[in-house]
Amino acid sequence: MLQPVLNTSPPPPVWALVQNSRPGQPPQAATPLEATHQAAIAPTEIAFTVVAALRAHPHLSNVLTHISRGNWEQIEQAFGAILNPDTHSTALSALARNIVDLMCADRGVTGRIFKPYYQELLSAILGKVLARRLIVNITSLFTELERAAAQAALATATQVSQSADAQPHQAGSTN
């Protein structure tokens, strides 16, 4: 969880992050919040900055626009939940679950782009120590979601197997 500290410096403004970025590369903050400051930044503020940077990325912007049906307000809300260390995986919306999958699963082109991008972006915004904490939290959300999906698939397979076993078989039937 992000801890408040007395001497906190404000995060770099969104325009400063985006202005320093190269196309397809995560924004670089001139002075990220170092671990010594461990600033208390609300997840909604981090989400705003992350979403602003993602909108500037050509590929990730297109993918997020597609999966959200163009609703960037929902994307920002999803990131607010994802970046909140107190959020449990069961509290994530379907969109947030899809975004976590994109961020962590390393599937396809988008997964291979998104994972390093968001990790470097969080480091640029928060500094390495706080970014690492959030990355670990996001990874644990992904692990919980994968575990729940595997359990659901196993339960479905078990039900199908049991219902097939419960069907009476008539010997000599020509059906």
Q: CB-side exposure of 127: number of CA atoms within 13 Å?
A: 18
Which amino acid is located at 43 in the chain?
A: P
- Render pLDDT for 105-145 as a digit per residue (tens, 0 to 9): 988 999 899 999 999 999 999 999 999 999 999 999 999 99
Highest mean pLDDT among 32-46, 106-120, 155-169: 106-120
Backbone angles phi, psi at 17, to 5 degrees: -65, -50
Q: How far apart are CA 75 and CA 34, in angstroms?
A: 27
By the 10 Å C-beta count (0-12 exposed, 13-18 middle, 19+ buried), 36 is classed as exposed
Q: How far apart are CA 118 and CA 124, in angstroms?
A: 10
CA angle 8, 11, 15 (to 5 degrees): 160
Q: Among 2-6, 46-50, 147-151, where is mean pLDDT lowest?
A: 2-6
Q: Which residues does 29 contact at the CB level (< 8 Å), separation at least 6?
A: 12, 16, 17, 20, 124, 125
Q: CB-side exposure of 92: number of CA atoms within 13 Å?
A: 28
pLDDT for res 34: 43
Q: What is the rounded average pLDDT for all residues in the chain?
A: 80
Chain centroid to Cα 28, Å, comes to 20
- Render pLDDT for 87-109 as a digit per residue (tens, 0 to 9): 999 999 999 999 999 999 988 99
All structural domains of the chain with their residue ranges: 14-162
Q: How far apart are CA 15 and CA 52, in angstroms?
A: 9
